[in-house]
Homo-oligomer: A and B are copies of this chain.
């Protein structure tokens, strides 16, 4: 049994198989499971990278039948039933679960990636954090008022939950945390623009909640441009519906694209995902399964299930149990049924939305519920405690403890702004 990917889905499969004592190998190109819902807080200096990452080996320590392999899968050979790794090794499989998730999708404009980093990995979050804090440092040093205005302009492309969360967090960072830390610039003058090509923010929620998010973000000073598409991204500006807009930092929260490994299993859809049947099996490939963001699975309403952590997690739990039963007793695989626990997004301090069937909650209570649920979902008691404490601290003081510029993006001469332009 081989599982590719230790995200929300893959990890649950491994745990279920481990509990049944079935020999399993789980392969991931990171040594940690990442709690992606809080990654935007790493990018906005509220949490540290280690707060949202848990070593995969530690999570699976009790499951002696599960072997963790750190490495990148380069090829799945469905004929020979082998998975090939970057180091040249290969691993044979009887059953294979592809749970490799998704990366950013730039709609065919891969060159935009250098100017508009997305937010999927720890490295992404650290990159955005460094660039975000650097743009204030650059502005403080600049003597040209136009250049300062440009540097203090942040554009976020994509009005889904990530875009909304980033816009709210950056507005609060500039208006509260950094407000009194500079002598030349006024960080509260930072212009945050949120661009969404669709007609409204948070398209996955009802119109009422989406309108609430717009109103709250506007109150925080975020400029919202819905119904307008970004048609170019460059080092110092983007173009929105043909109009150039100077930018000091651009963040990509628009498209995602499934892991390229999906293509090894057959025909994929526009987002690079492979279709699976209701047992999560890939049609025509015996003993091969896919789940989470790499798969398209149809729900009870005939529509594809959304790309949410809870979908991947439930699929993983189900598939792990179902496979264990099949292997142990020869029982047929059970069909998966998704049970939504509701959908939530945070806008800012005291402001979140929560929706579950006809129940719609917004504001202070949804915000508190969001925090409690996310702390509860974190893997590991230590993380729960540390994250809660840092949130309480931030709530009381408006400080953000992780204001660290470090790594590749820690220099004034990073690819964002070529030297001559500083």
Number of interface residues of A (CB under 8 A): 58
A274 vs chain B, min Cβ distance (A): 27
Query: Closest residue of chain B to A55, judged by CB?
Result: B403
Partner of A382, one of B70, B87, B399: B399
Which single member of B122, B390, B412 contacts A87 (CB below 8 Å)?
Answer: B412
Bound Cα distance A385, B178 (Å): 22
B404 and A122 form a contact (CB under 8 A): yes
| Partner of A141 from B32, B87, B121, B412 at Cβ < 8 Å | B87
Partner-contacting stretch, out of A46-54, A168-176, A242-250: A46-54
- A418 contacts chain B at the CB level, 8 A cutoff: no
**Contact flag A50-B401 (CB < 8 Å), given A71-B412, A390-B386, A412-B71:** yes
On whether A32 and B405 interact (CB within 8 A), knowing A67-B183, A70-B137, A183-B67, the answer reads yes
Q: Which residues of B contact A407 (CB under 8 A)?
A: 123, 126, 407-408
- Asked whether any CB of chain B lies closer than 8 Å to the CB of A365, the reply is no
B405 near A50: Cβ-Cβ < 8 Å: no
Q: Are A399 and B70 in contact (CB under 8 A)?
A: no
Residue A375, interface by CB 8 Å: no
Contacts of A208 in B (CB 8 A): none
Task: Provide the A206-224 mask, 1 if CB < 8 A to any CB of B, else 0.
Answer: 0000000000000000000
**A401 partner residues in chain B, CB cutoff 8 A:** 50, 382-383, 386
Contact A403 B58 (CB under 8 A): yes
Partner of A31, one of B53, B71, B141, B403: B403
Complex Cα distance, B42 from A48, in Å, reads 12
Cα–Cα, bound, A385→B397 (Å): 15
Q: Are B31 and A181 in contact (CB under 8 A)?
A: no
Instruction: Give 1 or 0 for each of A81-118: 1 = CB within 8 Å of chain B CB.
Output: 00000111100000000000000000000000000000
B58 in contact with A141 (CB, 8 Å): no
**Alpha-carbon distance between A48 and B47 when the two chains are bound, in angstroms:** 10
Residue A57, interface by CB 8 Å? yes
- What is the minimal beta-carbon distance from A203 to any residue of chain B, in angstroms? 32
Which of A32, A57, A122, A182 gathers most chain B CB within 10 Å?
A57
Enumerate chain B residues within 8 angstroms of A48, measured Cβ to Cβ: 48-51
Check A22 for interface membership: any CB of B closer than 8 A. Answer: no
Which residues of B lie under 8 Å from residue A58 when comparing CB positions? 181, 399, 403
- On whether the beta carbons of A89 and B141 are closer than 8 Å, the reply is yes
The reply to whether B412 and A50 contact each other, CB–CB distance below 8 Å, is: no
Q: Do the beta carbons of B181 and A30 come within 8 Å of each other?
A: no
A30 near B61: Cβ-Cβ < 8 Å:
no
* Given A55-B403, A70-B140, 13 new contacts (CB under 8 A): A30-B410, A31-B403, A32-B403, A32-B406, A55-B181, A55-B404, A68-B183, A70-B137, A71-B412, A123-B407, A382-B390, A385-B393, A407-B408
- On whether A123 and B389 interact (CB within 8 A), knowing A58-B399, A71-B412, A137-B70, the answer reads no
Task: Say yes or no: A49 contacts B412, CB within 8 Å.
Answer: no
Residue A305 is within 8 A (CB to CB) of chain B in the complex: no
- A57 x B390 contact (CB < 8 A): no
Bound-complex Cα distance A275 to B301 (A): 79
CA distance A67 to B67 in the complex (A): 53
Q: Are B406 and A30 interface neighbours, CB within 8 A?
A: yes
Q: Contact: B32 with A404, CB < 8 Å? A: yes
Task: Give the residues in chain B near A412, CB-CB below 8 Å.
Answer: 70-71, 86-87
Interface presence of A368 (CB below 8 A)? no
Q: Tell me, yes or no, whether A402 is within 8 Å of chain B by CB.
A: yes
Q: Is A69 an interface residue (CB 8 A)?
A: yes
Shortest Cβ distance from residue A292 to the other chain B in the assembled complex, whole angstroms: 21
State whether the Cβ of A337 lies closer than 8 Å to any Cβ in chain B.
no
Q: Are A141's CB and B71's CB within 8 A?
A: yes
